[in-house]
């Protein structure tokens, strides 16, 4: 039995959909407040609980020999911190899997994780990676460089206003990936012995600058879209004020520092392990506007 955490999230739903297609036995851990309509449509076995509640994990982990950990906290808030959700949640899952007799643990980390990062989420993810490597469990860690969906957060604005806001400079390099491609590799790692005890960087087939992304928008929409750069200094100043007034709850400065750098990965070890054909951003964007 496979347990998917973060199953109501974008990646979790895609992993669940592909598991259902392969007719593998899996269970989705979701909160009672989660939207589960898409999971119900594919016949997913839902278990209500929370990674921050060790007691609720007992039921979720019954008969489980593989965990796919896709949950992560986008923004800290009262009662939910990176430490509680991303660290302690994964720690309890690791311990629970060991209590079950061991098995496979697949963890979605991030490109650029480090104990020295200014972004607390990246420090926590590095700690989880370290836990896994000394746990005695079989594991595979994926460090995605970003997702195509990150580039469509302002898609409607680009379509209506013909402007594409970007943080910082236009030659910033990114290498997003289609969520389906990451989900495919995640599921393949369950049975691929070459993925055992490995950490993979993973990104799409193209290294794109924001200028190139805007060019693709223009091509897909059939009208000129222009860059709207937002000065990095201004964003950092706003981040400093927000952090100062909120007791660094949101860690805006750390977020800006992490995501204002080039995000380019080395796919070669991954491509030597998995037979995957990456989708392009242009294809993703055409599909996106066809649906929206």
pLDDT digits (tens, 9 = 90+) for 44-53: 999 999 999 8
Segments making up each domain of the chain, as ranges:
2-291
3-class DSSP assignment, residue 290: helix
Mean pLDDT score, 271-281: 96
Q: Has residue 258 got a pLDDT over 90?
A: no
Give the model's pLDDT for residue 97. Answer: 96
Give the model's pLDDT for residue 243. Answer: 76
Give the model's pLDDT for residue 166. Answer: 86
Q: Which residues contact 95 (CB under 8 A, 6 or more apart)?
A: none
Give the model's pLDDT for residue 268. Answer: 96
Mean pLDDT score, 223-243: 84
Residues in the chain: 292
Between 51-65, 110-124, 229-243, 248-262, the lowest mean confidence (pLDDT) is in 248-262
Q: What does the alpha-carbon distance between residue 199 and residue 217 come to, in Å, rounded to a whole number? A: 33
Q: What does the alpha-carbon distance between residue 157 and residue 240 come to, in Å, rounded to a whole number? A: 27
Beta carbons of 38 and 14 less than 8 angstroms apart: no
CATH number corresponding to 2-291: 3.40.50.720
Beta carbons of 144 and 203 less than 8 angstroms apart: yes
Assigned token pair, 194: 């070459």
Beta carbons of 260 and 232 less than 8 angstroms apart: yes
Beta carbons of 7 and 13 less than 8 angstroms apart: yes
Q: Has residue 254 got a pLDDT over 90?
A: no
Give the model's pLDDT for residue 187. Answer: 97
Beta carbons of 185 and 177 less than 8 angstroms apart: no
Higher pLDDT, residue 248 or 212:
212
Q: Facing residues of 105 across strands?
A: 67, 139
Assigned token pair, 153: 């957060």
Q: In angstroms, how far apart are the furthest CA atoms of the chain?
A: 58
Give the model's pLDDT for residue 138. Answer: 97
Half-sphere exposure in the Cβ direction for 208 (13 Å, CA): 24
Beta carbons of 135 and 105 less than 8 angstroms apart: yes
Mean pLDDT score, 146-174: 87
Q: Has residue 151 got a pLDDT over 90?
A: no
Half-sphere exposure in the Cβ direction for 55 (13 Å, CA): 0
Going by C-alpha positions, the residue among 57, 71, 141 that lies closest to residue 100 is 57
Could you tell me if residue 3 is left (phi over 0), alpha (psi between -120 and 50 degrees) or otherwise beta? beta
Q: Where are the alpha helices (DSSP H) in 134-280?
A: 155-161, 179-188, 210-221, 232-246, 252-259, 268-271
Q: Facing residues of 106 across strands?
A: 68, 140
Q: What does the alpha-carbon distance between residue 149 and residue 251 come to, in Å, rounded to a whole number? A: 22
């Amino acid at each position: 039995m496979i347990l998917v955490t973060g199953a109501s999230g974008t990646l979790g739903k895609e992993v669940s959909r592909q598991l259902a297609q392969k007719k593998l036995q899996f269970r989705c851990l979701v909160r009672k407040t989660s939207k589960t309509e898409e999971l119900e449509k594919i016949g997913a076995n839902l278990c209500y609980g929370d990674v921050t509640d060790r007691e609720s994990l007992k039921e979720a982990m019954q008969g489980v020999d593989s965990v796919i950990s896709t949950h992560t906290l986008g923004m800290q808030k009262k009662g939910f911190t990176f430490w509680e959700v991303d660290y302690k949640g994964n720690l309890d899952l690791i311990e629970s899997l060991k209590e079950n007799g061991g098995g496979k643990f697949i963890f979605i980390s991030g490109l650029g994780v480090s104990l020295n990062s200014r972004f607390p989420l990246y420090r926590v993810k590095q700690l989880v990676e370290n836990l896994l490597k000394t746990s005695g469990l079989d594991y595979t860690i994926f460090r995605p460089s970003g997702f195509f969906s990150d580039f469509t957060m302002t898609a409607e604005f680009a379509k209506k206003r013909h402007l594409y806001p970007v943080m910082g400079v236009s030659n910033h390099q990114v290498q997003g990936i289609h969520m389906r491609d990451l989900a495919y590799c995640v599921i393949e790692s369950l049975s691929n012995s070459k993925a055992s005890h490995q950490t993979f960087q993973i990104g799409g087939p193209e290294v794109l600058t924001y200028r190139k992304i805007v060019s693709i928008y223009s091509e897909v929409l059939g009208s000129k879209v222009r860059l709207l750069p937002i000065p990095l200094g201004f964003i950092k100043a706003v981040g400093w004020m927000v952090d100062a007034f909120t007791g660094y709850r949101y860690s805006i400065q750390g977020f800006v520092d992490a995501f204002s750098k080039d995000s380019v990965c080395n796919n070669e070890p991954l491509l030597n392990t998995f037979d995957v054909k990456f989708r392009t951003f242009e294809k993703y964007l055409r599909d996106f506007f066809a649906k929206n």
